[in-house]
Amino acid sequence: MGFIKSFADRLVTGQKAPAIRYADFSAPPPEEALPRLDRSALANSTLTPEQAEWRRDGVLILRNFIPDEITEPYIKRREAYERPGGWVEGHSYQFVPEMRQLALYPPLMEKLELLIGEEMMLHLCLTNWVTSQRAWHQDDYLNPSFVNCWYAAAWIALGDIEADCGPFEYIPGSHRWPLMRGEMVRELLGKSGKEVHDLHWPKTSEFFTTPAVEYEMKLRRMKPKTFLAKRGDVLIWHARLMHQGSLARIPGKQRRSLIAHFSGVNHRPDILEQFRVRDENGQTYVRFGDPAA
Ligand SMILES: O=C(O)CCC(=O)C(=O)O
Ligand SMILES: [Fe+2]
């Protein structure tokens, strides 16, 4: 970073740059590897209003999208499960059919396909009913580097989501920032002397990723938004959208949701065919473990 550039950045942000900058662990993804709606050359007139919202903001918000009779069976099942953090396993949908049925709600799968441009499959669910407190990140960096935004997640509200529970926060338009790269984050983490060969690297690296993202946001004069919601509302977000589970102003306050993550079926060569299962509506989910079991 040149001296003049750092000085100019400081004038814009009003603060000294952090030692590690956003550019140190991100890179623009190869244009030809991206889904159609992420490419720079695209006539906006060919887009539906929902696709245009996606392209502009990196989210699609669907109010009152899932009827109560679809959310009800999972809410009942989840209420009966005492742990506020929900199921520990990200693939708990495998053994909780009510969760799978909600996450794979066909009209939701249809929207995902319209945004990403191919059939999507479910491979991760977060079932906590309190904020995850995960600081700013883009989900793509948690996946193999070839995924390149053929990925999306859905935040399904299952009750009133109020401002003090630590709601989902995102930076509209940040899906056009360079893409955070897991291998670059792990390399920097290693250089700082921390353990990188465990599953906690996304969390242990927050000490440098968070200030870098906060600084980048100031530099770009962008502001975060919060997803306040009611049961049945859904927010679909881009794999490159900067987001976080914000800190709760009332610690431990309930935040009922199901968070479901999906990848494009043609962009996960690492998830072999024998692990993919179709549900009764023909929607695909990944069944981890012994395929014969
Ligand atoms: O707690 C939240 O709302 C955010 C969770 C998150 O980052 C994710 O599911 O990718
Ligand atoms: Fe995330």
Structural domain containing residue 126: 3-28+50-265
DSSP string over 166-219: --EEE-TTGGGSPEE-HHHHHHHHHHTT---SSTTHHHHTHHHHHHHHHHHHHH
Average pLDDT, the chain: 95
Q: What is the pLDDT of residues 253-276, one digit of tens each?
A: 999 999 999 999 999 999 999 999
Give dist(CA 183, CA 157) in Å, integer.
Answer: 32
User: How many structural domains is the chain composed of?
Assistant: 1
Under the banding of pLDDT at 50, 70 and 90, the label for residue 1 is low
Ligand 2 centre to CA of 244 (Å) is 6
Average pLDDT over residues 47-69: 97
Residue 41: inside a domain = no
Please tell me if the CB atom of residue 134 comes closer than 6 angstroms to any atom of ligand 1: yes
Q: How far apart are CA 241 and CA 67, in angstroms?
A: 27
Q: Is the pLDDT of residue 70 over 90?
A: yes
Token pair recorded at residue 285: 């989910």
pLDDT band at 44 (very low <50, low <70, confident <90, very high): low
Say yes or no to pLDDT of 196 above 90.
no
Query: Quick one: pLDDT band at residue 293, thresholds 50, 70, 90?
Result: low
Write phi, then psi, for 68 (nearest 5 degrees).
Answer: -55, -35
> Is 238 a member of any domain?
yes
CA dihedral 176→53→110→101, nearest 10 degrees, is 80
Mean pLDDT along residues 223-234: 98
Residue 154 CA, ligand 1 centroid: distance in Å? 10
Q: What is the pLDDT of residues 5-26, one digit of tens each?
A: 888 999 999 999 999 999 999 9
User: What pLDDT is stored for residue 292 in this prediction?
Assistant: 56
Mutate to test the pocket of ligand 1, among 125, 131, 168, 213 (most ligand atoms within 8 A of CB): 168
Q: Point out the ligand nearest to the CA of residue 169.
A: 1
* C-beta separation of 163 from 228 below 8 A: yes
Cβ(1)–Cβ(21) below 8 Å = yes
| Domain annotation covers residue 37 | no
Inside any domain, residue 36: no
**Which stretches within 14-154 are classed as H helix?**
49-57, 68-79, 97-103, 106-116
CA distance 149 to 32: 12
Q: Is 272 part of any domain?
A: no
Domain of residue 127, CATH code: 2.60.120.620
Question: Ligand 1 pocket: which of 132, 156, 161 to mutate (most atoms <8 Å of CB)?
Answer: 132
Q: Is residue 164 one of the residues assigned to a domain?
A: yes
Flag whether 239 is in a domain: yes
Using alpha carbons, list the distances in angstroms from residue 26 to 121, 145, 215: 26, 12, 14
